[in-house]
Structure 1
C-alpha cells in the first residue's frame, strides 16, 4: 500500500489527467470499455455484491437516511456513529470462499456509498474507516482475499457524497447539481477524482467498477480517470444497463448486469426482513443468464462484519445447486429464445452445447421419470442428452429403476425422458431446477424479432384507452403471426415478493410491420407495466417490458 508521498503522487496523477482531457459536459456519456473485456465480463455471469458501511450498526437503509434528516441527526450520524464501528469479525477469505462455492466469479464491494464514508485508508477525508475502532483498511483485506480465491475484484463507488454536501453547507440530495456554486462544484469533482486515483493506484489492477449516481462531471470524470489509469477495467453501471431488483422482459444483445437483494434491503436489516427462497434466487439467476445478462447478488454484513446466518444459508443453498449445474451458468450465451414456459435455455455455441434448465419442478420424487418436449431444439446424429450431475446408471436404493436419459426427435420437437436420480438431501427431496445437457444441438426455427413500442393514452367516444404499439423487426420463418399485449400494475420488488400475474389483451393476426391494440381503462391513477407477446407456433416470444402512467381526471 502506498503511504509516503501519496498526496504528491495523487496530485501529480490529477494534473496529468486534467492536462490530457477535454472538459466533460453534462450531456456526454463516456464508454471506453474494451469489447474483449466486456465479453470476458459477460462470461463471468454471476457475482457477489457487498453493501457494508458504518451505518449498518443501525440496520437502516444505507446512506439514504441522511436525506431530509435534521441537523441533530446528521451531527450524530457523521461525528458519533463512526466511533462505535468495529467490523472485527469481517472475514474476507471466508466470504470469497463462499462466493466461489456459489458459482460467483467476481465480487463488488462498496468502497464509498452516498454517505461519503470511505471503507479504505484515504487521505482525502477523515470520514473513513481508519478513524473508527477498527482502524485498519478493510478494502485492502477484501482485495487480497478476493484475488487469492481467484475471483475478479470489483469496486462500487458513489460520486455523490452527502458528507461533502453537508460539510459545504449544501442540501443533501441525490441529484440536481446545477445549483452548486462553480467553486464548490470544482472542489466536488476534484474530491471524487482524487478518490478514484487512490482506488486505482493503491490496490493493483481493478477488474470491475460499479458507479452509482452522479451527474455530468461527477460521474464522467471518475470514469475518465479510471480508464486512463487502467484501460482494461470494465465499468458496469455508468456504461451499461444495470437494472435493480428486476430482470428485463426479453433477451438483450448489449451487455447488462442485474443487481438483486436477498431480502428487501441492500445493507444489513436486523428486523422485519423478508428473504427470497433459495429456489427463487436460483430461478432469477437462470432467467438472467438465459437473457444474456450477469447477476450481481447482494449480501449485507452485520456491524461486526459477519454475514447474517440467513444470507450464508441462502448462499450455501445456491452453492449446492451450482456444484451440480454450474457449467450451465458460466461462459454461456443466450439460445434463439430464452425459454419455453418454465424451461430456460443457455447455450455454448462453439461447443454446440445447449442447456435446458427445468424450473418449477417442485416435488419431483427421486426415481420418478418425467417427459419434456423442447420445440425450439433439433437433435443431430451426434446429439447426446444427459442430466447434469447424474451418471444415468443408478438410483440409490432403487436397483430396478432405469436412470438412463432417453430422447427422440419428432416433428413437433425434441422429446426427452429423464429421471431425478441423484440423492443430494437426506429427505430425498430436491426442489431445484434439474438441467439437461444437450450436445450437438441445432435451432428448430428462426425466431422473429419484435419490439414493444411506447404506449399512448387516447380518448375515443368518451372512453379512455391505452393504445399499445408494437413492431416486427425481423419476420423469421413464420408468416401470419399472432400477437397480443400483456399488462399488469407496476411491480415494486422491494414491496411485493411476487409480481401480479399478467393479463392479456385480445390476440390479433398481423401482416404489417407495425401494429396497435387498444385497451379501455378506468379513470384512475395507476402505473401499468406492459409488453408485446408474439405467439409463434413453437414458442411464445416476449418483448421488452415498458411502463405507462394514468392520471385520474
Structure 2
C-alpha cells in the first residue's frame, strides 16, 4: 500500500467522563471536566494555544521542608496545635523576588503564573480578614500574593490563583477531624464553612484586579465557581471545570481544553532532601508530549523557606528557556497532528494546517555536525514542500567551511524521508542533549482515522489476565495487528518514573474491531497499568492507559 492512498490513523481512546451538573455534589476530580462550566470559549481557546504555565506551591510549612499541608491529616493534637501556632512565627521568605521568578518563567515560554493563595492547611498568603492564620501574622508581614500579582502583570503574563476550599485550620478550630474525606458537619457549621469560603473568594476576586485563571483543589468547588464567575466573568477556571490530570499526561490526544500539572521532582513544595528531580530534557519532553496531545503543561516549582528559587529548579527552567528560545513556534499556538508520534518523533501542526513540526526526542546521542535521516509515515510531501531546522540556517556549521549542511527530503511510496544536519552550537562542549525540531511546510496527512479504544482487564488466574480493546471504525485491514503494553503501577506520583512497558504478543483484529490478549507472569495483589497498541503501516497507535488490580 502506498502513502498516496492516504490511509489515516488517529489515536483515540474513549475516556469516561464523570461530569455532574451544578448541584450540591459537583465533585470534579483531576481527570474530569464539569457540566457546570461558564468558561468563555475564547478563554478556553487561549489555553489550547498556550504551551505552559508556572505553578508555585508555597506554604507555612516550607520551613520544615515537608509535604505542603498533608502532614496534618491523621496528625496528633499536639502536632496540629504546634503546626498552627509555631510555624507562622518562623515564616519569613525575605529573599522572595517575584520579578526574578516571573522573568525566568517568561523566558521558559510560560504564559501564566498559578500561585498558591491558600492550600489545604488554611494558611492564607494574602491580607485576609477571614482568619488570623495568614501571612500578615508572620515575620514577613507583607501581602505576598499582591507582590506576586503585580510582578506577573509587569512581565505581561496572566495571573492565576490556586485556591483550596478545604481548610484544615477551620476544621481544627471547630474540633473536627482533619481529613480530606467524609468530614461531617452539622447544619450550622456547614453554613459557617460555606460563608467562610465565599468571603475568601470575594476577597481574592475583588482586591487584586483582573484574575485570569483559577485552579480549585478540593471541595466544595461549586461555591468557589459560583462566586468567582459572578465577580470575574472572564476568569478561566481550570480544575473544577476542565480536565487537569495530575503528575501524568493523558495517553492519547484530547480535543477539549486540558492542562496537566506536574512537579519538577516528586514534591509540590520545596523539599531540600530526598527529592528526585526530572532532568531538563525530561521536562522539555513532557512539554512536547502535552502539546502533541492538545494540552498545556502546568509545571510546578516551590521556593525555599527564605523565598529563593532552588538552584536545581532555576537550572532546569533555564534549560527549558534555551530550548524554547530556539523552538518556540513548535509549541506556541499549535494543534495536534493526525497522530501524536512515531516512536521518538513527536508532532504538532500550525493553526492554518500548512506546517508540521517534527520534534525529534531522545536526541542526546545526535552529535553536532552529524547528518541524520528519518522516515515519516504520517506526512506526505508535495511540489511546494519546504524543510528546515528551527534555530539554524542550514548553510553554515561553525569551523566547518564548505561542509554540506543543507536540509533534504524525498517522498517515497513507503514514507517521507528527511535528511538534516544538526549544526547549531548551544553548549560549549557541543553536546546539547535536547530535542531537535524539523519544520515542514506545505504538506498533508498521509493517513486517516482509526480510533483505539481501551476496554477492560480481568484476572484469569493468580498470574494471568485477559485484556480487551477495540479498533473503532475498523475497515478489515488484514495488516493491522494489536497488542497490549503493560507494567506495574506504583501510584500517581510514580507514574512519570515508571519503568519500561512490557509488550504482549501481537494478535489479529476481529471483524468488528475487537481484540483480546491473555498475558502471564503477573503477581497477585499488584496493580498494573495497560494500554492497547495497534500497529499499522509501521506506526504504533496507542489507546489510553487504564489500571487494574490483579
Taking structure 1 as the reference length, the TM-score comes to 0.91
CA separation in 1, counterparts of 2:433 and 2:490? 26
Number of the residue aligned with 2:138: 132
Cα shift at 1:476: 7.0
Q: What residue ranges of structure 2 are gaps of 5+ in the alignment?
A: 1-20, 28-33
User: Residue deviations 1:451-477, cap 9 Å, x none?
Assistant: 101322346xxx764221212223379
> 1:479–1:440: structure 2 CA closer, same or farther, 3 Å change rule?
farther
1:106/1:152 contact within 8 Å kept: yes
Number of the residue aligned with 2:543: 543
Tell me the matched-pair count: 522
Comparing 374-383 with 516-525, which one deviates more in the overlay? 516-525
1:347/1:355 contact within 8 Å kept: yes
1:111/1:119 contact within 8 Å kept: yes
Number of the residue aligned with 1:153: 159
1:376/1:538 contact within 8 Å kept: no
Cα shift at 1:517: 2.3
Cα shift at 1:66: 0.8
Number of the residue aligned with 2:501: 502
Q: 2:408 aligns with which of 406, 430, 435?
A: 406
Cα shift at 1:523: 5.9
Number of the residue aligned with 1:212: 217
Q: Secondary structure at the match of 1:254?
A: coil
Number of the residue aligned with 1:253: 255
Q: Describe how 1:353-432 pairs up with structure 2 within 5 A.
A: 353-432=355-434
CA separation in 2, counterparts of 1:171 and 1:264? 27
Q: Secondary structure at the match of 1:198?
A: helix
Number of the residue aligned with 1:72: 78
Q: Secondary structure at the match of 2:141?
A: coil
2:248/2:495 contact within 8 Å kept: no
CA separation in 2, counterparts of 1:380 and 1:163? 64
User: Residue deviations 1:391-433, cap 9 Å, x none?
Assistant: 1110010113212111111111111111111111111111111
Q: 1:45 aligns with which of 34, 51, 59?
A: 51
Q: Describe how 1:94-243 pairs up with structure 2 within 5 A.
A: 94-177=100-183, 179-214=184-219, 218-243=220-245
CA separation in 1, counterparts of 2:411 and 2:469? 34
Q: Secondary structure at the match of 1:450?
A: strand
CA separation in 2, counterparts of 1:23 and 1:313? 43
Q: 1:318 aligns with which of 314, 317, 320?
A: 320
Cα shift at 1:446: 0.3
Cα shift at 1:495: 4.7
> 1:211–1:430: structure 2 CA closer, same or farther, 3 Å change rule?
same
Cα shift at 1:513: 3.0
Q: Secondary structure at the match of 1:80?
A: helix
CA separation in 2, counterparts of 1:289 and 1:102? 15
Cα shift at 1:231: 1.8
> 1:51–1:472: structure 2 CA closer, same or farther, 3 Å change rule?
same
User: Residue deviations 1:49-73, cap 9 Å, x none?
Assistant: 1000111111000000111111111
Comparing 337-346 with 515-524, which one deviates more in the overlay? 515-524
CA separation in 1, counterparts of 2:122 and 2:298? 23
CA separation in 1, counterparts of 2:541 and 2:323? 28
Q: State the structure with bigger RCO (CA 8 A, min sep 6), 1 or 2.
A: 2
Cα shift at 1:200: 0.9
Comparing 89-98 with 450-459, which one deviates more in the overlay? 450-459
Cα shift at 1:479: 5.6
| Coordinate RMSD, CA, aligned | 1.8
CA separation in 2, counterparts of 1:91 and 1:449? 48
1:447/1:477 contact within 8 Å kept: no
1:447/1:476 contact within 8 Å kept: no
